[in-house]
A and B are shown apart, each in its own frame.
Chain A
Amino acid sequence: MSETKSRSVRDKDVHSLPALLARNVAQFGDKAAYREKQFGIWQSWTWREAAEDIEALALGLLIKGINPGDHVAIIGQNRPHFYMTMVAVQSVGAVPVPVYQDAVAEEIAYVLDHCGARFAVVEDQEQVDKVIEVKDRLPAIDHIIYVAPRGLRKYDHSALSQFDVLQEEGRAARAELQSELDARRDALGYDDTCVMLYTSGTTGRPKGVVLSNRNIIETSKASAEFDHLKSDEDILAYLPMAWVGDFIFSVGQAYWAGFCVNCPESTDTLSTDLREIGPTYYFAPPRVFEGQLTQVMIRMEDAGRLKQWLFRKFMDHARSVGPAMLDGADVGTWDRLKYKLGELFVYGPLKNTLGFSKVRVGYTAGEAIGPEIFDFYRGLGINLKQLYGQTEASVFITQQPDNEVRSDTVGIPSPGVEVKIADSGEVYYRSPGVFVEYYKNAESTASTKDAEGWVATGDAGFIEEGTGHLKIIDRAKDVGKTASGALFAPKYVENKLKFFPNILEAVVFGADREMCTAFINIDLTAVGNWAERNNIAYASYQELAGHPDVLATIQSHIEEVNTSLASDAMLSGCQIHRFLVLHKELDADDGELTRTRKVRRAPIEEKYADLIAALYDGSDSVSTETEVTYEDGRKGSIKATLKICDAKVADVKMMEAAE
């Protein structure tokens, strides 16, 4: 059979992931499908081996009485076992529901209860305990399957199975169950549910987004073609499996293009694993790139003088010509030569240390990325691009094509996606990737997706004239007015603040108020390093956050932002008049951030009402007591007296007068 013929056969007939798996076994049977570092060595599964393991698990699930349409919760960190579980679950006609593994028992209970999960496939004792803790409230739960047996030997195994033991049972029962499995697998259609993902929910309870095989496969196909993804790509799967991006990259695109998904040894070994794998296709949210850049800068400050000089010299050059060279623009011969030299001395070794030597396509999304950070990576010759997406869209709404990359836009509509801007400024889209529905929530489905298939993103933005690139300003519902009627876009200001390495998180207030104020979270890595360098002793995060020099530094950052805001006629009303530096880091465990680390405004406003009051009543300091939740779910509290600082506001009267 010729290559073209097999291609056309495969394109028409694959209407489910199990079907794609079979195609991949036929095409790349002996190529690695998964790798995972364990016991210090990268272990791999070929497509053939993966298919065999998946089938064994599917048979095991049949023994346990799984029915078509059942929901199966998957709770664990990125491991081949869980990716294979997803496909095994689909093979028997059931629906995989990956759940954030660091979620506390309460959150897990909500999701498991809402989807009525009958099975849970989990990592280890910790996750088993979480599910057992809330099991009384979950009548639907039938059986829990765990991967790591440690500490679980003594548990009652009447409703508990070990992953590989279940696979063995499945293999043993092949003779009697194979025909049932084949029948269920063959019955899978293009419009059957592929996966259900719960949105992290910046507001209210998480919603279960139902994505069909059509959504996932069409999106994977279009996006893989957009970036020319081939079967020889390597990716590192380290972002939460419950997040739609990981599902598209590590399952959808990986199955469509047939490339290898590599799983790290543990979350702590990520940087080593990244270096060892050298991915060709890489995704990270801005904070990961920020974190890496901060690390590099801190380590450079400890380097010798010659190295520092080399680094500065060549990085300046990289920033000035690197991005242009990456975009294929015309750059002078001398600059090219100098860049080559830099590649030899600085860029090459640095990329190698970061694990980016082989990156052909890199994406960042989820939040705005600082222009300096963006230029740093692009300057190094890393093809880092931005995309804009949502769970409801199977990720892709807009993305940046090669050679059209900028830090302040999110790109042009992805292939197959239509984008329009409503009169209110809200961005709408329509595509083959648009979700089927919110599970058991027809009301929300109707308010998000209209009859013609247009979906409201909830983000306000506009399409830039001339280039057709989309620019996002803020969440549509967060964009408001101050008491004086000026436009208030908190996220826009917060992002500007967060571009400073010393600021980890910022929350700006000002809707319907006479002025804007802010909470600031310092970045412990950056500020701690600064303190060490300047011989400033501190005993705790709280003490460092309250240090007068730290407050002065933050104040200068805020004033810088104010100056830049003042130059923008639309946003000059968002300048920050007063601020305080919080005594604790905002945390998802305390309900202040979502699991994907987005600020949850309403809970913060409620929890810190006393602090906000102090920001507006003119007082110099405020005493407060805050409840904190530890990782294991216990609660404690911390007391603090916070100083409230005034920031200089740049003059905009001139402009107002001119208008």
Chain B
Amino acid sequence: MNAMAGNYTTEDGRKIGGVMMEMRNITLRFGGVEAIKDISFDILEGEIRAIIGPNGAGKSSMLNVISGFYHPQEGEVWFHGAKRPSMKPYQVAQQGIARTFQNIALFDGMSVLDNIMTGRLTHMKTGLLSQALWRGAAEREEVANREFVEKIIDFLEIQHIRKTPVGRLPYGLKKRVELARALAAEPKLLLLDEPMAGMNVEEKEDMSRYILDTNDEFGTTIALIEHDMGVVMDLSDRVVVMDYGRKIGDGTPDDVRNNQDVIDAYLGVSHD
């Protein structure tokens, strides 16, 4: 089984397809600082791909390049076999890429339900006027979207907070609501920026279960950044390791665990 080639079946029976997204020689600079230096890797259809590395390695920048928030000075992003032109984030979202944020970005004053409904925005076609009047097509569309959102609520088991304002929720639940909003967009590719940050063991286990189930039930391809090595190694099919903006490892969790550069940079050598 060659994990790099794509089109294989994992041990637990999931089908991994061909290349979905390819990063080719990406370099990203902020003034004189090179956040990402000449990095290339790909994301396969249906896999869970992790990006790991010490603080300041450039992981979040990488995610922002994928989501179209940053535009790299050099290199190309290929999506579904075509080179992606420079895009605004909303255009990227329309292509089927959704994300969550490291520092939760929800609307605090709105209910959980309304927050998740905003995730359906890219699926709403009717105009402003008909939505305001809420007749015919607009009404049907809203009902259909609500139905979809209710399925997500059921999936993530947050029925009890449906009507609760997000600002009143504890941290772990906010994270789950954010995942719900991203899922409401029915993404082909889901980007998760530190989904477990600040969580206790039990919350981490729950979140891991939801990530695996998302991948399994909806076939969503997932790219995630995470600090917790245990979680990363358990969840991911393949891992990219970054250090100081460079790629120092790429492969299955076992490959990465045994890579001496990775051990030196991140896993083994103490920094004090």
Contact = CB atoms under 8 A, between A and B. Distances in A.
B217 to A, nearest CB: 6
Nearest to B201: A630
Given A39-B151, A40-B159, A154-B14, 12 more contacts: A39-B153, A40-B153, A150-B155, A151-B213, A151-B217, A154-B216, A266-B159, A266-B160, A268-B159, A268-B160, A269-B160, A272-B160
Contacts of A272: 160
Interface string B186-227: 000000000000000000000001001100110000000000
Interface residues of B, number: 19
Contacts of B13: 154
B254 interface: no
Interface string A223-252: 000000000000000000000000000000
A265 interface: yes
A40 B111 CA distance: 14
Contacts of A153: 216-217
28 contacts: A38-B154, A39-B150, A39-B151, A39-B153, A39-B154, A40-B146, A40-B150, A40-B153, A40-B159, A150-B217, A151-B209, A151-B212, A151-B216, A151-B217, A153-B216, A153-B217, A154-B12, A154-B13, A154-B14, A154-B216, A265-B159, A266-B157, A266-B159, A266-B160, A268-B159, A269-B159, A269-B160, A272-B160
Contacts, number: 36
A151 B154 CA distance: 14
Given A154-B12, A154-B13, A266-B157, A40 B162 contact: yes
B147 interface: yes
Which of B147, B151, B159, B209 counts the most chain A CB atoms within 10 A?
B159
A38 B159 CA distance: 9
A154 B146 CA distance: 29
B149 to A, nearest CB: 9
Given A266-B159, A268-B160, A269-B160, A39 B216 contact: no
A257 to B, nearest CB: 30
Interface in A245-290: 265-266, 268-269, 272
A410 B21 CA distance: 70
Interface of A: 38-41, 150-151, 153-154, 265-266, 268-269, 272
Contacts of A40: 146, 150, 153, 159, 162
Nearest to A40: B150
Contacts of B151: 39
A296 B162 CA distance: 22
A40 B149 CA distance: 10
Nearest to A148: B154
Nearest to A269: B160
- Decide if the interface of chain B is mainly helix, strand, loop or mixed: helix
Contact of B213 (A39, A150, A265, A268): A150
A266 B159 CA distance: 7
Nearest to B161: A268
Interface in B52-99: none
A39 B113 CA distance: 12
Contacts of A150: 155, 213, 217
Nearest to A268: B160
Interface string B1-17: 00000000000111000
A153 B216 CA distance: 9
Nearest to B10: A154
A272 B159 CA distance: 10
Which of A38, A40, A154, A268 counts the most chain B CB atoms within 10 A?
A40
A272 B161 CA distance: 10
Contacts of A265: 159-160
Interface in B119-175: 146-147, 150-151, 153-155, 157, 159-160, 162
Nearest to B209: A151
Which of B13, B157, B160 counts the most chain A CB atoms within 10 A?
B160
A38 B151 CA distance: 9
Contacts of B157: 266
A238 to B, nearest CB: 14
B47 to A, nearest CB: 16
Contacts of B213: 150-151
A509 B157 CA distance: 43
B11 to A, nearest CB: 10
Which of B151, B154, B157, B209 counts the most chain A CB atoms within 10 A?
B154
B9 to A, nearest CB: 11
B62 to A, nearest CB: 30
Contacts of A39: 147, 150-151, 153-154
A268 B83 CA distance: 47
Contacts of A41: 150
A522 to B, nearest CB: 22
A154 B154 CA distance: 21
Instruction: Report, nearest first, the 10 A-B pairs whose CB atoms are least far apart.
Output: A268-B160, A39-B150, A154-B13, A269-B160, A40-B150, A265-B159, A266-B159, A269-B159, A151-B213, A39-B154
A41 B155 CA distance: 15
A39 to B, nearest CB: 4
A122 to B, nearest CB: 17
Contacts of A154: 12-14, 216
A306 to B, nearest CB: 25
Contacts of A151: 209, 212-213, 216-217
Contacts of B150: 39-41
Contacts of B159: 40, 265-266, 268-269
Nearest to A153: B216
A53 B33 CA distance: 66
A151 B146 CA distance: 24
Contacts of B14: 154
Contacts of B155: 150
A268 B169 CA distance: 14
Contacts of A266: 157, 159-160
A41 B159 CA distance: 11
A53 B235 CA distance: 39
A93 B162 CA distance: 42
A471 B3 CA distance: 72
A154 B213 CA distance: 12
Nearest to B151: A39
A41 B14 CA distance: 33
Which of A38, A39, A266 counts the most chain B CB atoms within 10 A?
A39
A269 B14 CA distance: 34
Interface string B210-251: 001100110000000000000000000000000000000000
Contacts of A269: 159-160
A153 B159 CA distance: 24
A41 B217 CA distance: 23
Nearest to A152: B216
